[in-house]
């Protein structure tokens, strides 16, 4: 059965957690692996004017200080599906997939730059990447 944008929003509403997990909540409150697969199918249907992938490089430049003005998508996601990128970031964070967590937290911040949990998750995932790199460094 073909998944449409309207149908995807209904599915998301059904499968999203009743309470939004935060960066401190236990893994059990995050989405499951099956839900992660479904949500990744859903984000492929996000309309272009709402797709944060269009501005992710600009947001990265803003965060690193290379750009003065924070970018924004043309049209925000409908409220009913607004947490999809955050939930994917949370899933990857709680499963120690730091690079994926950073990407989805950053996508969420492209849409909702005041998301404290995404900022905290992005900072902690980035810190974990740096820590892993430092721990694996062997001087020559």
Q: What is the pLDDT of residues 52-88, one digit of tens each?
A: 999 999 999 999 999 999 999 999 999 999 999 999 9
Q: Is residue 25 part of a domain?
A: no
- pLDDT of res. 139: 78
Q: Is residue 59 part of a domain?
A: yes
Tokens of 29: 């409150």
End-to-end CA distance of the chain: 56
The total domain count for the chain is: 1
Q: Is residue 15 part of a domain?
A: no
> Which residue segment(s) compose the domain that 88 sits in?
5-10+32-136
* Mean pLDDT, all residues of the chain: 94
Q: Is residue 95 part of a domain?
A: yes
Q: Is residue 26 part of a domain?
A: no
Q: How far is CA 111 from CA 52, 76, 117, in A?
A: 6, 6, 13
- pLDDT of res. 107: 97
Q: Is residue 98 part of a domain?
A: yes
Q: Is residue 27 part of a domain?
A: no
Q: Is residue 19 part of a domain?
A: no
Residue-wise pLDDT for 93-104, tens only, equals 999 999 999 999
- pLDDT of res. 127: 96
Question: Is the pTM for the entire model greater than 0.95?
Answer: no
């Amino acid at each position: 059965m073909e998944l449409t944008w309207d149908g995807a929003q209904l599915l998301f509403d059904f499968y999203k957690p009743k309470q939004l997990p935060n960066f401190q909540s236990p893994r059990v409150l995050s989405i499951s692996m099956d839900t992660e697969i479904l949500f990744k199918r859903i984000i492929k249907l996000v309309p272009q004017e709402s797709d944060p992938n269009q501005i992710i490089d600009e947001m990265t430049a803003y965060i690193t200080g290379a750009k003065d003005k924070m970018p924004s998508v043309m049209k925000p996601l409908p409220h009913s599906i607004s947490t999809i990128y955050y939930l994917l970031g949370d899933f990857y964070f709680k499963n120690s997939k730091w690079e994926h967590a950073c990407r989805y937290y950053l996508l969420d911040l492209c849409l909702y730059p005041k998301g404290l949990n995404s900022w905290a998750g992005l900072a902690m995932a980035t810190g974990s990447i740096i820590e892993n790199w430092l721990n694996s460094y062997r001087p020559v």
